[in-house]
Structures are given as C-alpha cells and as structure tokens.
Amino acid sequence: MQNRKRGFEVCKGYEDKNINLPKRHTAHSVGYDLESAEDLVVPSIWKKVLSLKEVKPTMIKTGIKAYYAEDEVLYIYNRSSNPAKKGLVFALGAGVIESDYYGNESNDGELMVPFYNFFPIDIKVKKGERIAQAVFQKFLIVDNDDATGKRISGFGSTD
C-alpha cells in the first residue's frame, strides 16, 4: 500500500453491490467516469417550483471513494451530454473534493453528485449509468498559509 499515489475504491456498505470503479474510456480522456450506484429518479425542478415545494438538488450516490496526495484535489464535473440529453444540470460549478474527505466517519468519503433536472418530466437514472467525471489535479498554497484545521465529517462539513 506504500506505493499508492491515487485511485478509487468501493465504499463501505457497497462491497456486494457490483460497483464499477471509475475509468477513462479513451487514451486522451481527462476524466474518470463516475456511475450511479443505484436506480433513482431525478424529479423535474418545474414540478417542485409549481407546487411551491423546496427545490434541492438530487444527490446521486456513486458508492466510490478516492484517495490521493495531500497536494492534490479531485474535481467532479458534469458530463457534457447530460444537460441536452437528460436535462441534468450539475448543482455546482465543479465539485471540489479535498484529500481528507477519503474515509471520513460519516460516509466513508463517498463521492456524491448533486443534480437539478430542468426537463419538464422526471428523469430515470439507472444503476451503472455514467453521470459525471472526476479529474485529479495538483494545487498550490501561498507562502504564509497557516491552515491547521481537521475534517471531522463528510459532505459539506468544512463550514
């Protein structure tokens, strides 16, 4: 395990769910394709708006976690075909996942992808369907950086 640089693993609780590890599909692909860990429905945002219900993104679970160096970040981006073909718009500009998210106590570091569905109909997402892509990248810090905080939880826990 000492030689590990970066990679993906199946999260706790998904060991027997036939989860596929992300992979690139062409030699020049930048991102690793993330798949849905389950069948689900992403409701139309318009149904919620018209019924005056709270509009929140649908979190699609992947059953996957990622490990990588402390000076790296994992970005999650929407697939370019999702908005036009399925009306699925990523609820963030990009998902920013820090290395200390891996294996956290609350969700084992599971990568989840938030979507809004802008089509007027609900959209079904099947288990194993590619929903997003994950891109690893190095990052830099400033000379006088003095961050010492520690992650204590999972998704959205740094504030």
**Exposure of 133 by Cβ count < 10 A (0-12 exposed, 13-18 middle, 19+ buried)?**
buried
Rounded Cα gap, residues 38 and 35, in angstroms: 9
Amino acid letter for position 90: F
Mean pLDDT, to the nearest integer, of 76-94?
94
| Domains, the chain, ordered by start | 7-138 (2.70.40.10)
Write down the residue that tokens 């160096």 correspond to.
69
Cα 53 to Cα 43, 91, 145: the distances in Å are 12, 17, 43
Tens of pLDDT, residues 94-153 = 999 999 999 999 999 999 999 999 999 999 999 999 999 999 999 999 999 888 877 666
Rounded Cα gap, residues 156 and 122, in angstroms: 26
Identify which has the larger pLDDT, 43 or 51.
43
* pLDDT at residue 80, rounded to an integer: 93
The SS3 call for residue 34 is strand
Is pLDDT of 51 > 90?
no
Question: What is the value of pTM for the model shown?
Answer: 0.88
